[in-house]
Amino acid sequence: MKLRNWQLPLAIVLFMTGILLVSALNALQSEAEPEPRTKSKAESLIAMIETQEKELKDYEKTIDARRDSLAKHQKDIATGKIEVQTLQYELDQLKTLSGVSDVEGKGITVFLDDNNKGYEIAKSKAPEQAKPEDFLIHDKHLLYIVYELRVGGAEAISINGQRVVCSSDIRCMGTTIGVNTSAIGPPFVIKAIGDPDRMSKVLETDTSQYNILKMAGYPVRIEKQKKITIGSYKGSYQFSYTEPKGEQ
């Protein structure tokens, strides 16, 4: 078959046109779609950021949990410390009430002595009627004055250095007076810690034992003091029949 003169140039033109068209299409496709390698880097970066954000949130949760635990621990310590302080305060109060510790504070000192001058006067007037024991300080006088001091709010009391507690025994021992396990004699010095004005007011009432002794001519006096020291109870607490009550 013999080609015509115009057919060969036309075929060449169409072939070249096809090549150009394919090239143009490839170029357009390359511009429309990003390179696979670039897309992979972006996705990796996004995944890394998401992973770090998740780890950061986990760390924050852990920190919050540790902070709550620490706060609870500190609270428990503070509560325990307060409980210990409360128990220590109550123990100190019990020691003070029981007299097993030295104490100090404002209060009064009461001085008492036998009425020797009164006895001499009575003996000079009526020797056969004057009795020495009628002019002495007896155990009952001390007992009454201790009671009156407690009515006046005395928080701690001592007689001639002997701490007076709830179990103290004040009794006559011949020519002396027994306080706890010690024998003491005149002059008697009673110390009391508390409100000085209140205790003095109770002692100076008309019917008080102190005022009766004063009106009878006994050498007695009261001194208010800003600071008094009273030693601890030196005796022992012994119970023969009393014991702590058990749980029911």
In a domain, 1, yes or no: no
Among 103, 223, 239, which Cα is nearest to 163's?
Answer: 103
193-209 per-position pLDDT tens digit? 999 999 999 999 999 99
Q: Is 154 exposed, middle or buried (0-12, 13-18, 19+ CB in 10 A)?
A: buried
Mean pLDDT, residues 138-154 taken together: 94
In a domain, 246, yes or no: no
CA–CA dist 71, 69 (Å, integer): 5
Q: How many CB atoms lie within 10 A of CB 98?
A: 15
In a domain, 244, yes or no: no
Q: What 8-state DSSP symbol labels residue 135?
A: G
Among 173, 177, 107, which Cα is nearest to 142's?
Answer: 177
126-136 per-position pLDDT tens digit? 888 888 888 89
Q: How many CB atoms lie within 10 A of CB 231?
A: 15
77-121 per-position pLDDT tens digit? 666 666 666 666 666 666 666 666 789 999 999 999 999 998 888
Mean pLDDT, residues 45-55 taken together: 67
Supply the pLDDT for residue 64.
73
Map residue 225 onto helix, strand or coil.
strand
Supply the pLDDT for residue 62.
75
Q: Give yes or no for residue 160 having a pLDDT over 70.
A: yes
Q: Give yes or no for residue 247 having a pLDDT over 60.
A: no
Supply the pLDDT for residue 48.
64
Q: Give yes or no for residue 227 having a pLDDT over 80.
A: yes
Supply the pLDDT for residue 186.
93
Kindly state whether residues 213 and 125 are assigned to the same domain.
yes
Per-chain mean pLDDT for the chain = 78
227 vs 165, higher pLDDT: 227
2 vs 115, higher pLDDT: 115
Supply the pLDDT for residue 3.
47
181 vs 85, higher pLDDT: 181
In a domain, 42, yes or no: yes
Supply the pLDDT for residue 202.
95
In a domain, 238, yes or no: no
β-partners of residue 164 are 157
CA–CA dist 158, 189 (Å, integer): 8
63 vs 230, higher pLDDT: 230
CA–CA dist 149, 167 (Å, integer): 16
122 vs 96, higher pLDDT: 122
**Structural domains of the chain, count:** 2
Supply the pLDDT for residue 41.
57
Kindly state whether residues 145 and 52 are assigned to the same domain.
no
Supply the pLDDT for residue 126.
85
In a domain, 181, yes or no: yes
Kindly state whether residues 162 and 188 are assigned to the same domain.
yes
Range of the domain at 162: 103-230
